[in-house]
Amino acid sequence: MQPKQEIKSLLLLFGGQFTSNQESYGKSPFWILSIPSEDIARNLMKRTVCAKSIFELWGHGKSTEELYSSLKNYPVEKMVPFVHPDSTYKIKIHTFNKTLTQEEKVKRIDALEFLPFEGKVNLKKPQHTFSILEDYGLDPNCIPEKPHNIYFGRWIADGQRELIQSYSVKKRHFIGNTSMDAGLSFIMANHGQVKENDVVFDPFVGTGGLLIASAHFGAYVCGTDIDYNTVHGLGKATRKNQKWRGPDENIRANLRQYGLEKYYLDVLVSDASKPSWRKGTYFDAIITDPPYGIRESTRRTGSQKEIPKGIEKCPESHVPVSLSYHLSDMFFDLLNFAAETLMLGGRLVYWLPVYTPEYTEEMVPRHPCLRLISNCEQKLSNHTSRRLITMEKVKTFEDRDQYSHLPSDHFLAYQGHNSFREKYFSGVTKRIAREEKSSQE
């Protein structure tokens, strides 16, 4: 995943902008950003699950000498509110990819005595916390003697990483085979810029993993799924030691588990290929994980008439039948649906499965009403991945927009997704065969 996209979306949501002259976000765990105010920085940290902490940077360098001279150049008037005699403070050391002894840590703190700290040290409950951050790179097999970069700053806030544990699917009341991981659900809600009182919709809702994250941020949530049992919390249980789902295993109960029931609007049994909504713009965000046909089928409802020639049909043509739902049709429908029902400025966030050897950016579905905001990869295997696509509605939907993207090259490119399932399994089959062969050797 690319944390940069989460941070970018959140900064825009809170009135900031992602500005930095640093180019190595992917390679370094530390970033230097320009954020207009401390309030924006705090708001950002109330939401992010990708960033661990944020500091006001007082100095940095590639060596201790560079750090000290940078600190000496930091304007004293900016330090004064945090170092005056009535204040209490503490200095901490964070190292990335190396552990320091207590003695080494104390040495580093003592070396900062030139800073104008006049307050009292308080290790338990300081008013202000300062940190030295040392970056020893990403390779645990090649840890340099000296850090690549050293930073010193005033701690402002921590991010929301604990949400990954507190909302873990392992401890969730109602789960299914494809329940979305808690961390990714929060990242998706952040890409979708979900905020209080928004209405968020998931057309492939499953067990509602994505609704939970949006509700946590104060949005009212609803969804649809073609599977009656999933929507009604019936049928076989997913947990190993349980045969059938219990009486209250459903999405509403999941929200209740986290104290979020008041954000539950409803979930309906409905086929995403035939949305049952009246024309209108209802949603601030559509956040979803469509089926890829790997652990759940990609089906849609249809009538006997739609069954291709040569396949036996039943005499009653009104009986709905289950037809396979090609991935390209599914994404085409999803984009059209989002273009029609999102508010202007609303966001669509969804996963697009791709066969990596054949993937090109042209495959990402486009729509005249939706602007592509970001496209981040999550690897699934050596040859498959899924891309987290974020789009924003930038134009009011008109009837002529519905098919206008069909003749484009983009549409032809993403028809390649139809064979994702076969490619996925052929790759898996080959890998198993390879592994079996090597274990026999």
Ligand X SMILES: C[S@@+](CC[C@H](N)C(=O)[O-])C[C@H]1O[C@@H](n2cnc3c(N)ncnc32)[C@H](O)[C@@H]1O
Q: In this complex, which beta carbon is closest to ligand X, that of residue 8 or of residue 245?
A: 245
Q: In this complex, which beta carbon is closest to ligand X, that of residue 61 or of residue 302?
A: 302
278 to 297: interface string for ligand X, x by CB under 6 A: -----------x-x----x-
Q: What are phi and psi of 137, to 5 degrees?
A: 80, -175
Regarding 298 and contact with ligand X (CB under 6 A), the answer is yes
Regarding 225 and contact with ligand X (CB under 6 A), the answer is yes
Among 64, 88, 129, 178, which residue sits at the site for ligand X (rule: CB under 6 A)? 178
Token code pair at residue 415: 């028809």
Among 35, 180, 188, 338, which residue sits at the site for ligand X (rule: CB under 6 A)? 180
Token code pair at residue 207: 């067990």
Strand duo 220-225 + 321-324: pairing = unpaired
Degrees, nearest 5: CA angle 154-157-162 = 140
Regarding 176 and contact with ligand X (CB under 6 A), the answer is yes
Question: Which one of 114-122, 202-210, 361-369, 379-387 is the stretch in contact with ligand X (CB under 6 A)?
Answer: 202-210
Regarding 207 and contact with ligand X (CB under 6 A), the answer is yes
Q: Which of positions 151-170 make contact with ligand X (CB under 6 A)? A: none
Min dist. Cβ of residue 101 to ligand X (A): 45
The 220-225 sheet, strands edge to edge? 264-269, 220-225, 199-202, 283-288, 342-355, 384-393, 370-379
Q: How far apart are the C-alpha atoms of 116 and 270, rounded to whole Å?
A: 65
DSSP assignment, residue 278? P
Helical axes 209-216 vs 182-191, angle rounded to 10°: 60
Question: Which one of 41-49, 70-78, 120-128, 265-273 is the stretch in contact with ligand X (CB under 6 A)?
Answer: 265-273
Min dist. Cβ of residue 90 to ligand X (A): 41
Q: How far apart are the C-alpha atoms of 24 and 149, rounded to whole Å?
A: 12
97 to 136: interface string for ligand X, x by CB under 6 A: ----------------------------------------
Regarding 272 and contact with ligand X (CB under 6 A), the answer is yes
Question: Which one of 147-155, 221-229, 401-409, 412-420 is the stretch in contact with ligand X (CB under 6 A)?
Answer: 221-229
Q: What are phi and psi of 186, to 5 degrees?
A: -70, -40
Question: Which one of 76-84, 151-159, 173-181, 233-241 is the stretch in contact with ligand X (CB under 6 A)?
Answer: 173-181
Among 179, 193, 254, 384, which residue sits at the site for ligand X (rule: CB under 6 A)? 179
Question: Which one of 46-54, 218-226, 371-379, 391-399 is the stretch in contact with ligand X (CB under 6 A)?
Answer: 218-226
Q: In this complex, which beta carbon is closest to ligand X, that of residue 11 or of residue 349?
A: 349
CA distances from 384 to 326, 378, 417, 422 (A): 18, 9, 11, 12
The CB density around residue 413, as the number of other CB atoms within 10 Å, is: 19
Regarding 249 and contact with ligand X (CB under 6 A), the answer is no
Place of tokens 């944390």: 3
Amino acid sitting at position 434: R
Regarding 366 and contact with ligand X (CB under 6 A), the answer is no
Collapsed DSSP state (helix, strand, coil) of residue 271: coil
Amino acid sitting at position 81: P
**Where are the strands (E) in 16-102, listed by range?**
53-61, 88-96
Q: How far apart are the C-alpha atoms of 441 and 437, rounded to whole Å?
A: 6
Binding site for ligand X (CB under 6 A): 176, 178-180, 203-204, 206-207, 209-210, 224-227, 230, 271-273, 289, 291, 296, 298-300, 325
